[in-house]
Structure 1
Amino acid sequence: MAKRNHLLIFILTVGVFGIINTEMGVIGILPSLADHYNISVSQAGLLVSLFALAVAISGPTMPLLFSGINRKKVMLLVLGVFLLSNIVSIFTTNFTVVLIARVIPAFFHPIYCSLAFTVAAASVSKEEAPKAVSKVFIGVSSGMVVGVPIVSFIANAVSIEMAMAFFAFVNAIVFIATIIFVPSMPVKERLSYGSQVRVLKKSMTWLSVAAVILLNSAVFGVYSYLAEYLKTVTNMSANSISLMLILFGGSNIIGNIVAGRLLTKNANKSVIAFPFVLGTVYIILFLVGQFSIPTAIVTLIWGILAGIGGNINQYWIISAAPEAPDFANGLFLTSANLGTTVCAAAGGLFISGMGTQYVILVGILSLIFSLITILLRIYRSAHAKQFSR
C-alpha cells in the first residue's frame, strides 16, 4: 500500500510538472516564438497572460463541475486535452491557432492540479496530508522554475518545434503512466454543487482567500522583478542573473520539502511566523541589495520561503473548507493567480514611481495585510470552537 501511494504521488507530481510547465515554459522562449510566428513580443506574451486568465476564471468552477466523476477518468481527460493541444502547437504555423490551443487546456488546468492535491492528501492519513501535498508542490515549483530553462535550452539547441514537443512528451508519459499504474478512483461520497459552494458563506473561507491573495502577492509581486532588481540594483551580469534565478528555483523545491514537516508539526504557528520571517528577509535584501554575495544568500533563503509559502497558501484554504476539497483547491488556484497578477502590476507602479529597489515595499505591505487576515481567521476559528462548547 505504501509503495503504491508513493508511486501515485510521484505520478501526480510529474503530472503537475507537465501542466505547470506547459503554462510557464514558454516564458523563456517568447522572443523566439515572436520570430517564429512573425509577431511582436507583446503579442507572444498573450500565450502566457491569456493562459493565466483562463486558469483564474476556471479555478473555482471546473473542479466543482468534475468533482463527482471518477478521479482517474478526469485525470486522463485533462492530460488528453493537454497532449492534443501540445501536438497542435508543434505543427501549426498560425499564431491564432496556437493561441487557441493554449487557452483551451488552460480551462482544464485547475481540474488536474486540484485533483492532484486532493488525491495526494487522501492517499495518506490526515496527519501526513501536508507532507503528501508538499511532494506534489515539487512538481509545481519544478514546472515554474526548472521547466523554463529546459525549454529555452531545447529551443536554442534544436528548434521551437522540439521545445513545444517537450510539453507533449511529458504529458504523454504521465498519460500512459496514469492508464497503467493509477487505480480507478470512483467518488464514494458525491457532494452536491450546493453543499460545496456553501463554504463561501463562511467568513473563514473569505479570510483564507484574502490571506492567500496577499501572501502570493508578497512573494511573486517582488519575484516578478527579481531579474530587473539584480540587473539595476545589484549590477549583475546576464549570466549571473540566470544563475540566481536557478538558485531561487532550486531552493524553492527545498522549501516544499520543509513545508510539509512544518505544517505537520504546528500549522498555525508556521503560518503566523511566515510573514515575519519573509518580511525580515525583504528588509535585509533592501539593505544589502547592492552587494552580490549577501544578495545571493538572501535569494537562497527567499527561495526556500517561497516554496514554504506555496504550501501554506494551499493548506490555509483547504483547512478552511475541508468539507469541499476540490472546490477549495480551485479557490486556492484562483486566489494565487489573482495575487500574482495584481501585485505584479503594483510592483511595476512602485518601480516607475520610486525606483527598482522599492519594489520590495510591495512585498512588505502585502505581508502586513496578510498577517491581519491570518490573525482574524485564527481568532474566528478559536471563537467558533469556544461557542460550540
Structure 2
Amino acid sequence: MRNVFLLTIGMFALGFDAYVVAGLLPEISETLKINASQAGQVVSIFTLCYALAAPIFATLLAGKPVRVILVLALGVFSIANGASALAANFPFLLIARAVAGIGAGLFSPMASAAAASLVSEQKRGRALGFVLGGMSMGTVVGVPLGLIAAKQLGWQGTLWSVTIIGFFATIGIMILFPKVSAEAPPSLRQRFTMMTNKYVLAIIGITLLTSIASLGLYTYIASILKNLGGITNLTPYLWAWGIGGVVGSFSIGTLIDRTGRPAFLMAGILAILMLGIFTLPYALKFPTLAYLPIFLWGAMGWASQAPQQHALLRSQPQHDKAAVALNSLANYLGSAIGSTLGGIAMVAGLAPTDLPYAAGCFVLVALLGQLIIIRKQS
C-alpha cells in the first residue's frame, strides 16, 4: 500500500490544483482585469487539455516504464503550476494552465491503472477508491487551506503550494516506486476502435454527462453562492463539498467490492446527485440548510468515478490503461464542456441562479442512460 499512497499524494496535488482554482477565480479576475466568464476559461483550458492532449502524449510515451511516465507527468504538472503562479497576464496564464492540464491528464489515468495492478482483484475497488480519494482529499483539505493562504499570499501563493506538493510526490515516486514493467499502450487508432464498443461508449457517455453537470457547475460555485444566497465566504461550503467528496470516494470502493454491481451503484449515485443539484437553489434560501445538497453533490460526484472505472476494467481486461484513460478523458472533457457552456450561458444572459437547473437536467439524462445500460445487462 506504500506505493498506492505515493500515487495518492500525487492525486492530492491534482485535486488541490483542479478545484482550488474555481475558488480563486474572483481574485484572478481582479488581478488580471478580466470578467467572470473569461476567468472560468482558466478552468476550461486545464480540463480540455487534460482530456484531449493526454492520450496523444500517452501514445508517444509507449513502452516507457510506468515510473518514468508518472515522474514525467507529475514533473510537468508541477512546473506548469509554478509558471501559473508567475503569470502576469491572461494569455500566459492560459498557456501555463494548458500545460498543467497535459501533465495532470497523463498522470491521473496512469496512477489509477497502476494502483489497480499493484493489488489483487479482490482489492481493486478499494485501491481505485483510495487513489481517487487522494484527489478528493485535495479538495476537502487543500482547497479551503488554499483559499485561506490566498488571503495572505495571493492566489499565486496557493499555486506555489500546489507546486511544492507536486514536486514532493514526484521525488517520492522517483525514489520509492517499483520498476513495474509497462505494456505498450494502444495506438490512437486502437483507442478509437475501442470506442466503437457500444458498452464502452455507453459507460463513457454517462461519465461525460455526469462531469458536464457536476464539475462544470463547480466552476461557477462562487457566483452561484453569491447570487443565490448572498454568500461571500466560500470556505465552509467548499469544506462541505470536499468532505462529501472524501466520504463518497473512500466508501464507494468497499461498496463495489461487496456488491460486485457497479452499474446499480452508479444509478443510485446519479439519483442522489440529481436530488442534491436540483434542491440547491431552494436550500440556499436557508444558508445552513445548503450544506446538505452541497455535501451530496460532492459525495456523489466523486463516487461516480470508481464504478465507471471498475466496469471498464472488467469489460476490457486486456486494455486496462486505455479503458481508465478513456473514462478520465470523458470526465475532464465533460468538465471543460460544462465550464465553457456555463460561461457562454452567462454571457448570453443566463443568471448563475439558473445553472443548477441546467446541470440537474444533464444528470437526469445520465440517469436515464444508466437505467438503459442496466436493462440491457439483465
Give yes or no for TM over 0.5: yes
1:10 to 5, 16, 24: 5
Partner SS state of residue 238, structure 1: coil
2:195 corresponds to 1:200: yes
User: Matches of 2:313 and 2:358 in 1, distance apart?
Assistant: 26
Match of 1:119 in 2: 114
Matching of residues 195-344 of structure 1 within 5 Å: 195-233=190-228, 235-239=229-233, 241-266=234-259, 267-285=262-280, 288-344=283-339
Residue 387 of structure 1 corresponds to which residue in structure 2?
Answer: none
Distance 1:292 1:97, change over 3 A: closer
2:195 match: secondary structure = helix
1:72 and 2:67 aligned: yes
Contact 2:47 2:335 in 1 (8 A): no
TM-superposed CA distance for 1:39, in Å, is 4.5
Instruction: Measure, in 2, the Cα distance between the counterparts of 1:210 and 1:146.
Output: 30
Question: Which residue does the alignment assign to 1:375?
Answer: 371
**One of 354, 358, 361 as aligned partner of 1:362:** 358
Deviations 1:307-363 (A, max 9, x none): 212333433444443322222222222211232333445557499778655434324
Matched to 1:237, the amino acid is: I
139-148 or 350-359: bigger deviation: 350-359
- Between Structure 1 and Structure 2, how many residues are aligned? 373
CA positional deviation for 1:99: 4.2
CA gap 1:248/1:104 in 2 versus in 1, 3 angstroms: closer
RMSD: 3.2
2: distance between equivalents of 1:47 and 1:226? 15
Distance 1:46 1:296 in 2: 27
Equivalences for 1:17-166 in 2 at 5 Å? Answer: 17-33=12-28, 39-41=33-35, 46-89=41-84, 93=88, 96-144=91-139, 146-159=141-154, 162-166=157-161
Q: Distance in 2 between matches of 1:353 and 1:105?
A: 31
Q: CA–CA distance in 1 between the matches of 2:100 and 2:296?
A: 34
Contact kept, 8 Å, 1:60 with 1:328, in 2: the verdict is: no
Change (3 A) 1:302 1:91: closer
TM-score, normalisation: structure 1: 0.82
Matched, 1:179 2:174: yes
Structure 2 Cα separation of the partners of residues 340 and 91 of structure 1: 25
How far apart are the structure 1 equivalents of 2:191 and 2:238? Answer: 39
Q: Deviations over 1:78-128 (max 9, x none)?
A: 122233334445556566555434323422322110111001111112222
2:265 and 2:52 mapped to 1: Cα distance? 30
Q: How many angstroms apart in 2 are the aligned matches of 1:363 and 1:76?
A: 36
Q: What is the CA-CA distance between 1:133 and the residue it aligns to?
A: 0.8
AA in 2 matched with 1:270: L
Aligned-partner Cα distance in 1 for 2:342–2:85: 35
How far is the alpha carbon of 1:204 from its aligned partner?
0.8
Query: Which amino acid counterpart does residue 368 of structure 2 have in structure 1?
Result: I
Name 1:385's counterpart in structure 2.
none
Contact persistence 1:133–1:260 (CA under 8 A): yes
* Structure with greater Cα Rg: 1
Name the aligned partner's letter for residue 56 of structure 2: T
Contact in 1 for aligned 2:41/2:339 (Cα 8 Å): no
Match of 2:301, SS state, is: helix
Comparing 122-131 with 334-343, greater Cα deviation is found at: 334-343
**One-letter amino acid of the counterpart of residue 366, structure 1:** F
- The answer to whether the 8 Å contact 2:241/2:294 transfers is yes
Over 3 Å counting, the alpha-carbon distance change for 1:299 and 1:97 in structure 2 is closer
Instruction: Quote the offset at 1:169 in angstroms.
Output: 1.0
